[in-house]
Chain A
């Protein structure tokens, strides 16, 4: 699954790093680094991270901002 974080929005609340630690990690106190290509088995954790982000900065394939799984528009 592809994802991108709008790091202008990100304020380092680290919710994603707790909920999906294989995808997101804090680097220092408030910098976020992440893997833009998450494994498929991370889908549920990623969905929780997308939903939990206080500033709604995460966009992922097939997940809307409420963290619900929607149909991937082009089959990814």
Chain B
């Protein structure tokens, strides 16, 4: 019976994908590429075809691309019904229906949720409404910010020195604009890469002329009589005049529309199994609802089966492909989502890349190059094994470290490396902030129990 159902689904079933961005598009393409011939509907709250976001804070701000033209190429004809510009507002698991903001309802046989995240807005709404207070997540945000930067503001103020905020600061300096960056932690990128690497990022900023303020929070945004932002007040009682303020405080997961649906969805995302099937609120796996991309939270065998939420481009692609595959095949043919976390960033002309889960690391060893030269590879260790690596302008070595993480290689590292410096023979504390303190959050969220198994053998999925 189950086999017949899958056969029927593949030919005549209705698949609905909520979220028409990178994950939604790649899932749709995979469904068609793997022979799904039924009805496919993509629902997206933005009125645009799926577009790519990473260029918005890089080549778009650097003037090399238009914010309106980062649409993703299509790898496969997807022959879908598009419902763009209308958000999903509710889900009825029993009737298998998605409710839309315009009152319409769309029925499905299988559903994929890929609603992603949105930028966390400034916490005081009346200040957030001031003219000149910007976010950077959508193409409209990017177009607005580009326009304001081109107008030559006297000073740009960036709240939050995560990757997005640091990339904005980098672009501002490239345009010759004065920029101040405020960060609650002791350095930029601390949530994602820890204090040791964060200190390198701090030097990079200050040497490139960024006015970097750490260990401070923004207490108020001050507007003028015309409703334009004119100054930023900080917790150290200093005041910085600025006419563009970029709020870069991480993101919020788009799960509110699932409230009351019975799905295991909340501020930390939608929990799912390794096969991308969503859990309901009782912790029982559903069979017709799948999740992929930034909004998903799934257990990873390599990291002690902790549930990982990864706001990574590559994760959206890989998880969408796995979810789509699993949606239209029989149980035994399903694949686990075992993607190795990986991300990149680029700021002040330096290429930063990482594999694994750095925030899990307690200690760090610089295995190649040197922090002072800003060209290095470093590995993160947790309970005697390597769990992550980061490179600054050393990307070609990263794959080697990825293999070490997959092998569960011991930490401190035992292998010899090229360009090992004598001062880097011993591990040092990686310098992640106390997780109980509030921050704007790293791009990787860990939850669940801690891993203790050091004997794990990991074979990555080949797909």
Contacts and interface: CB of A to CB of B under 8 A. Distances in A.
A51 interface: no
Contact of B349 (A7, A29, A35): A29
A33 B59 contact: yes
B350 interface: yes
Nearest to A64: B75
A37 B65 contact: yes
B305 interface: no
A11 B70 contact: no
A27 B65 contact: no
Interface stretch (B95-103, B268-276, B338-346): B338-346
Contact of A37 (B69, B75, B317, B351): B69
Contact of B73 (A10, A28, A30, A59): A59
Given A28-B393, A37-B66, A2 B349 contact: no
Interface of A: 1-4, 6-8, 10-12, 25, 27-31, 33-37, 59-61, 73-74, 76
Interface stretch (B50-58, B81-89, B185-193): B50-58
B77 interface: yes
Given A12-B395, A36-B52, A36-B70, A31 B65 contact: no
Given A4-B52, A11-B396, A74 B351 contact: no
A30 B65 contact: no
Contacts of A30: 351, 393, 395
Contacts of A4: 52, 72-73
B356 to A, nearest CB: 13
A61 to B, nearest CB: 4
Contact of B343 (A8, A60, A76): A8
Contacts of B66: 37
Contacts of B75: 59
Nearest to B397: A11
Contact of B62 (A33, A37, A74): A33
A60 B73 CA distance: 6
A73 B76 contact: yes
Nearest to A25: B64
A76 B73 CA distance: 9
A31 B351 contact: yes
27 contacts: A1-B73, A2-B74, A4-B52, A6-B314, A7-B54, A7-B344, A8-B313, A8-B314, A8-B342, A8-B344, A12-B351, A12-B395, A27-B58, A27-B346, A28-B346, A28-B348, A28-B350, A29-B349, A31-B346, A31-B351, A34-B59, A35-B64, A36-B71, A36-B72, A37-B69, A74-B77, A76-B74
Contacts of B52: 4, 36
A60 B349 CA distance: 25
